[in-house]
Structure 1
Amino acid sequence: MGVEQAPVRNRYQEVVTRLYHSSNYDFVGVALRENQSPHLTRWIHVLGNTNERWRRIVLRRGIGLAGLVVQTGQPFLNNEILQLDYRNQFYCPIARLEQLTNVVAVPITKAPFNQVVGVLLAGYREHKKEMNDQDIQKLSQYLH
């Protein structure tokens, strides 16, 4: 990402930091679409990670939980994410790497056309509580 992307990256780093420290999620991360072709979507900032393998994940549009959120622009949650394998359209590599059991993801949009440019994801490693619409609302509030 170029120099012009630094303020954007810093803004989402702040979102991740605030959400992680003000909630009981075990993991919070943001993935953003790059401006330059081929417009890959990568995780740019995470907290609560157990390793650094998240840095190598490239989200594919329409594939996996985060890729589907980017493609459809719709939030998604799953309370049994580790039950899915790589053949399932909702398979989530970052959940597998971080051993997340429950996840919620919301799209990050850019004005003026509400173009989806990324995803904000949060999750638990143990079934502390079921994810629900309140979690979707909570994550969405951090993006406004």
Structure 2
Amino acid sequence: MTLAENANQRNYQHLVDQLYQTSDFDFVGVALQANQAPHQITWQYVAGNRGEQFRKIILRSGIGIAGLVVRTGKPFWNNALQNATYTDVLYTPIAQAECLTSAAAIPIVTTEFRLVTGVLLAGYRSTQTVSDQTISRLSHYLATF
């Protein structure tokens, strides 16, 4: 691992920890694309997790909140995650693994080529809702990163 990669990892973990500690989110995570083929996107940095299941999840483009963000490059939020079934496009493995009822996600974009290389997701296990304001708050955190 290069010095730059090691520093980047510390920064993402700091971002996740800071967002989790200074907000009311029950779960915060960053999924990133691997540098080597097949360039899978996996959850690498999390806070508030209930277990280690998140490590086995591989994001699929267009499936679930994070997959939709990867495919479209646009933020997305949902307040009825518990209603999604396995066959539903909005079925979100991370929400199932972490018992999230609502979540918001924004793309992590490379500055050089404007490619989506990851996702920042934050969610709740309770009846709290997410909205466009949640997206703005996540965008602010990412922008200061």
Q: Please state which band the TM-score falls in when normalised by the shorter chain.
A: over 0.9
* TM-score of the pair, normalised by structure 2: 0.93
**SS of alignment partner, residue 143 of structure 1:** helix
Contact map agreement 1:104 1:122 (CA 8 A) in 2: yes
Deviations 1:15-46 (A, max 9, x none): 10110001000000000001111000010111
Give the gaps of 5 or more residues in structure 2.
none
Alignment partner of 1:48 is 2:48 = yes
Contact map agreement 1:28 1:47 (CA 8 A) in 2: yes
Distance in 2, matches of 1:26 and 1:47, equals: 8
* Sequence identity (%): 48
| CA-CA distance at 1:65 after TM superposition | 1.5
Alignment partner of 1:133 is 2:132 = yes
Deviations 1:64-98 (A, max 9, x none): 21111011101110001110011111111010011
Contact map agreement 1:76 1:106 (CA 8 A) in 2: yes
Cα root mean square deviation, aligned:
1.1
Give the gaps of 5 or more residues in structure 1.
none
* TM-score of the pair, normalised by structure 1: 0.94
**SS of alignment partner, residue 13 of structure 1:** helix
What is the count of residue pairs matched by the alignment? 142
Distance in 1, matches of 2:7 and 2:99, equals: 31
Distance in 2, matches of 1:79 and 1:10, equals: 31
Distance in 2, matches of 1:6 and 1:87, equals: 38
